[in-house]
Structure formats: C-alpha cells, structure tokens
C-alpha cells in the first residue's frame, strides 16, 4: 500500500513502513523493512519511480535493526542504490546485523560522521528548496539516526512523540502520524 504524505514524500507499507522522498533529480529511500516483504516494497518503489520518471539513488538506514535494514541488500542491488548509515552502525550492517537482527550483509557506501553531516544535502543532491538534516539519536541502538526532511521526522525503529510547531509528521517503521 502506498500513501502520499506530502507532495514529495511517500510511505510504502509492507511488514514495516519505508519512505520514498523525491529530492529533485532522484529519490531517497528511508529504511528498507525486514526483507521478508521485498516484493511489496519493490512494487511500491517501481510504481512511484515510474510515475515520476526518476530513479532511486540512495537508501538511508536509520539503524541496523532488522525491521529497518533487513531488505536493504536486495533493494540496493535491484535499484543500483547506494547505502548510507552512521559510522557507528556501518560495521554491523556490513556483517548483516547482530545476534538479534540477522540479514544479508550490506555494502555501506557513505558512513555519516560529525565531519560530513553538514554536507548531506550536497552529497545526496537535494533540490535547494528542501533540506535534509541528520540527527544522532542513539535510539533504539547506539549509532541510530533520525532524518529530518523539511518538517517531517523519520525515526526508523524508534517510537517518538511529536515536537509541536517543529514538524508536521513523525514517520517510523511502525506508523506515520500527522502532528497537530
């Protein structure tokens, strides 16, 4: 199931939610679900990409938890998309998670650190009318990140409540809600 949250942000529901963001010339995928629902996620991504005549360029993973990273290997290969994560979780993603979160090992292309966070928009090629901010959250695991795109906060496997007047949606692997 595909939901359009705002003009350039889509939610695709498999076992867990993933989010596709139109950044101008291409799309970014936030998280990848757990991998057991890849056909649903793939069909949703194809439908949105074809409708917009663009390609998926990046997959940003908010942690190494299976519900957000388990499908990334398949999606990365299929769409020739590059994977981004925090430096702290990149080694676990390359190993395929930990003893509680097993999946196919990933090839992380960009490791986010304090030195390159300020260049995210340039690295990703974000249209200047929009802005992506990476926030180190360390929840649900050390090294986890939140992604802020305009007034939308993506929290991965973290359940976070609203920050009124700062954001319009909170989106995670389990649900998305409009902040009133």
Predicted confidence at residue 120, as pLDDT, reads 86
Three-state SS at 101: strand
E-state strands within 41-159: 55-60, 82-86, 97-98, 101-102, 108-112, 132-136, 145-149, 152-156
Q: Which two tokens stand for residue 127?
A: 């249209």
For residue range 2-23, list pLDDT tens digits in order.
999 998 999 999 999 999 999 9
Q: Does residue 99 register a pLDDT over 80?
A: yes
Q: Does residue 163 register a pLDDT over 80?
A: no
Are 173 and 31 within 8 A, CB to CB?
Answer: yes
């Amino acid at each position: 199931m595909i939901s359009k949250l705002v003009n350039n942000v889509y939610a695709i529901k498999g076992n867990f939610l993933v989010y596709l963001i139109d950044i101008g010339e291409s799309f970014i995928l936030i998280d990848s679900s757990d991998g057991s629902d890849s056909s649903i996620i793939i069909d949703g991504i194809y439908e949105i990409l074809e409708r917009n005549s663009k390609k998926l360029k990046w997959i940003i993973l908010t942690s190494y938890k299976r519900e957000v990273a388990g499908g990334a290997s398949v999606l990365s290969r299929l769409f020739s998309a590059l994977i981004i994560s925090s430096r702290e979780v990149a080694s676990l993603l390359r190993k395929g998670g930990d003893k509680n979160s097993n999946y196919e090992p990933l090839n992380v292309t960009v490791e986010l650190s304090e030195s390159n966070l300020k260049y995210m928009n340039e690295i990703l090629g974000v249209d200047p009318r929009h802005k992506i901010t990476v926030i180190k959250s360390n929840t649900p695991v050390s090294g986890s990140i939140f992604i802020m795109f305009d007034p939308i906060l993506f929290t991965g496997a973290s359940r976070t409540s609203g920050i009124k007047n700062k954001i319009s949606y909170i989106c995670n692997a389990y649900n998305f809600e409009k902040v009133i």
